[in-house]
Amino acid sequence: MSRANGPIDIADAWDLRAPERALLAWCVVCIALGFVMLWGSTHVGGGVIDGLDLLPLGLYALSLLTLHLLLVAARFRGDQLILVAVAFLSGFGMLAQYRMGSFETEGTISLNLLLFPIGLILMGAIAIVLMRGRYQMLAQGHWIWVWAVLSLGLLAVLLMFGQRFRGGVYAAGLVTPSEILKVTIVLFVAGFVARNAKSLGAWGKGLPLPPWRALLPLAGFWLVLAGLLVVQRDLGLFIILSIAMLTMLFVGTGRAGYLFFGGIGAVALAGAVLKVLPHGERRVTAWLEPFRDPTGGSWQILQGLSGMYSGGLWGEGFGRGSPQYTPIAQSDFIYSVIGEELGFAGCTIVIVFFLILFGRSLLVASRARDADGRLVGIGLVTVLATQTFLNIGGVTKFVPLTGLPLPFISHGGSSLITGFIAVGILLAISDGQPAAPPRNRMSTQTKGVPGKGARRSRGSAAE
């Protein structure tokens, strides 16, 4: 990594990343204002502000600085706005979690607090390890089968040894290892589709039917996955992965038929799954007719909406709302807490930052030189966007509740870290290939050398 790779040195990188520096600084200022607001209302409310309360902001600023310097030192060329959007969102998440008291422990530093800086640095580390095209290893050769087996194996192990809590399956504590599937399965499917793009795109002449033979491995994998996830009652994850898979198939082969048939299949499946899962039907009823059973099935959603209504346009002010009346406010319903305390305006800001993140990621994915990068990028964006959409849509009663956390903001270790890993890979893709820029000479595609890089990538992505 120390050898010059491409025409960029540290000074160039420093200049190149100047906008990022300025924007990150403003992020810190904005989040700091939020913290000051919270400290003030705690103080006025009779609480005590000590050093531990100042820690979240300090850690946040420090981790952004470290992240930035790391990227400069590594002469990282990748996207800066994705990074800023994630930095702002995770800062917002820290604010919200601090406000909900997730960081409160007896005089020690809570793990929940450390997850944010750890995640941010991890994101940078993954970006650096996989940059200059090394991300291609992830979806090459026998690796994709490793991802497939790993994904299903993890689910099976969970099913055998996991604990049930609130309808989901968890490993030790409330860690949900199945979160990492959002990355591993995208890697597998992207690799598979990239490799078999031709045969997968060969739809029947005349009657446009998909190529069953080529699809067989993928369909089999998906069926096993569906079975395992339905048994685990993890409907949200299943929806996310299915949508990501169909999107990757569509982008990889250019066949809109995948979306068409996928849509039909999805509707049919949704009906079947609702019959199988007892809480599915209840959720749909709560969504369609919230006032039929306002104190029962619709209680959560209506309480969340009541909080938002309390907030109105500008919000009550950070620290002044009463999120204790919002159910599961720290995780699934964090968005309605934001709505209560920062109002519709605050919600709009959050959504705009999410859109910046997704939009830029889509741009990066569309410009990746290789099919692997394109598909992995598309898959990861789809996963993140679908999860965000289902969470926010669920809380606002736009769609039924699926019980998914909000990326980068909700309380939930595994989901948070998975989000950071996904963005890390996206950043690596945005760094492009180790080729000289076109103005020097025509670029030739260089394949990454398996071996050293592969080992390193396993060390980072299989964490």
Partner 1 sequence: MTYSLDPELWPLIRVALHVGFFFTAAYLLRSIFNARQATELRHLPRAKWSARVPIVLLALLFTGILVYQATWQLIGASRPQFIAFMQLHDRRELNPAHRIMRGRILDHRGEVLAYSEEILGQVYRLYPDGPAFAHVVGYSHPWFGASGMESVANVRLNGGAPDGLGDWRKLGRQLVTQDKRPRGQDLTLTLDAELQRTAFGLLEGKKGAIVLLQPDNGAIRTLVSAPSYDPNRITPALFQDSGPSAALLNRATQGLYPPGSSFKILLAALALEKGFSGTLECPADGFTTSTRYRKIRDHDYYTARKSGSTWAGHGRIDLGTAFARSSNVFFAQLGVRYGHDAFYAMTERMQLNRRIVLHETPYGAWSMRTGEIRRLDPSDQYGLAQMSIGQGAALVTPAHMALIASAVGNRGLAVRPRLIETDEPAPLAYFMSTSVAERISVMLRQVVISGTGRGIDTPRLAIAGKTGTAENPHGASHSWFVGFAPAHRPQLAVAVLVEHGGYGSATAAPIARDLLLRAVDLGLIE
Is residue 263 within the footprint of partner 1 (CB under 8 A)?
A: no
Binding pattern to partner 1, positions 13-52, x when CB under 8 A?
-----xxx-xx--xx-xx--xx-xx--xx-xx----xxx-
Closest distance to partner 1 from the beta carbon of 124 (Å): 17
Q: What is the spatial distance between Cα 123 and Cα 126, in angstroms, rounded to a whole number?
A: 5
Is residue 366 within the footprint of partner 1 (CB under 8 A)?
A: yes
Is residue 190 within the footprint of partner 1 (CB under 8 A)?
A: no
Binding window for partner 1 (CB under 8 A); candidates: 97-105, 233-241, 366-374, 411-419? 366-374
Binding window for partner 1 (CB under 8 A); candidates: 223-231, 301-309, 418-426, 448-456? 301-309
Closer CB to partner 1, 37 or 235, in the complex:
37
Is residue 272 within the footprint of partner 1 (CB under 8 A)?
A: no
Is residue 4 within the footprint of partner 1 (CB under 8 A)?
A: no
Binding residue (CB under 8 A) for partner 1 from 236, 315, 405, 413? 315
Closest distance to partner 1 from the beta carbon of 459 (Å): 26
317: burial class by Cβ within 10 Å (0-12, 13-18, 19+)?
middle
Binding residue (CB under 8 A) for partner 1 from 177, 211, 257, 294? 294
Binding window for partner 1 (CB under 8 A); candidates: 115-123, 257-265, 392-400, 411-419? 392-400
Closer CB to partner 1, 22 or 216, in the complex:
22
Binding residue (CB under 8 A) for partner 1 from 93, 119, 280, 311? 311
Closest distance to partner 1 from the beta carbon of 233 (Å): 25
Residues 202-241 that bind partner 1 (CB under 8 A): none
Residues 6+ apart with CB under 8 A from 344: 308, 311, 312, 313, 314
Residues 109-148 that bind partner 1 (CB under 8 A): none
Closer CB to partner 1, 30 or 146, in the complex:
30
Query: 3-state SS string over the chain?
Result: CCCCCCCCCHHHHHHHCHHHHHHHHHHHHHHHHHHHHHHHHHHHCCCCCCHHHHHHHHHHHHHHHHHHHHHHHCCCCCCCHHHHHHHHHHHHHHHHHHHCCCCCCCCCCCHHHHHHHHHHHHHHHHHHHCCCCHHHHHHCCCHHHHHHHHHHHHHHHHHHHCEEECCEEECCCCCCHHHHHHHHHHHHHHHHHHHCHHHHHCCCCCCCCCCHHHHHHHHHHHHHHHHHHHHCCCHHHHHHHHHHHHHHHHHHHCCCHHHHHHHHHHHHHHHHHHHHCHHHHHHHHHHHCCCCCCCCCCHHHHHHHHHHHHHCCCCCCCCCCCHHHCCCCCCCCHHHHHHHHHHHHHHHHHHHHHHHHHHHHHHHHHHCCCHHHHHHHHHHHHHHHHHHHHHHHHHCCCCCCCCCCCCCCCCCHHHHHHHHHHHHHHHHHHHCCCCCCCCCCCCCCCCCCCCHHHHHHHHHHCC
Q: What is the spatial distance between Cα 8 and Cα 403, in angstroms, rounded to a whole number?
A: 45
Is residue 81 within the footprint of partner 1 (CB under 8 A)?
A: yes
Binding window for partner 1 (CB under 8 A); candidates: 59-67, 137-145, 233-241, 424-432? 424-432
Is residue 60 within the footprint of partner 1 (CB under 8 A)?
A: no
Q: What is the spatial distance between Cα 415 and Cα 249, in angstroms, rounded to a whole number?
A: 25
Binding residue (CB under 8 A) for partner 1 from 205, 212, 213, 291? 291
Binding residue (CB under 8 A) for partner 1 from 359, 450, 454, 456? 359
343: burial class by Cβ within 10 Å (0-12, 13-18, 19+)?
buried
Residues 367-386 that bind partner 1 (CB under 8 A): 367-369, 374, 385
Closer CB to partner 1, 122 or 392, in the complex:
392
Binding residue (CB under 8 A) for partner 1 from 47, 265, 271, 437? 437
Is residue 307 within the footprint of partner 1 (CB under 8 A)?
A: yes
Closer CB to partner 1, 6 or 177, in the complex:
6
Please give the size of the binding site for partner 1, defined by CB under 8 A. 94
Binding residue (CB under 8 A) for partner 1 from 133, 321, 405, 424? 321
Residues 6+ apart with CB under 8 A from 105: none
Is residue 325 within the footprint of partner 1 (CB under 8 A)?
A: yes
Binding residue (CB under 8 A) for partner 1 from 309, 440, 446, 449? 309
Binding residue (CB under 8 A) for partner 1 from 259, 363, 454, 456? 363
Closer CB to partner 1, 22 or 209, in the complex:
22
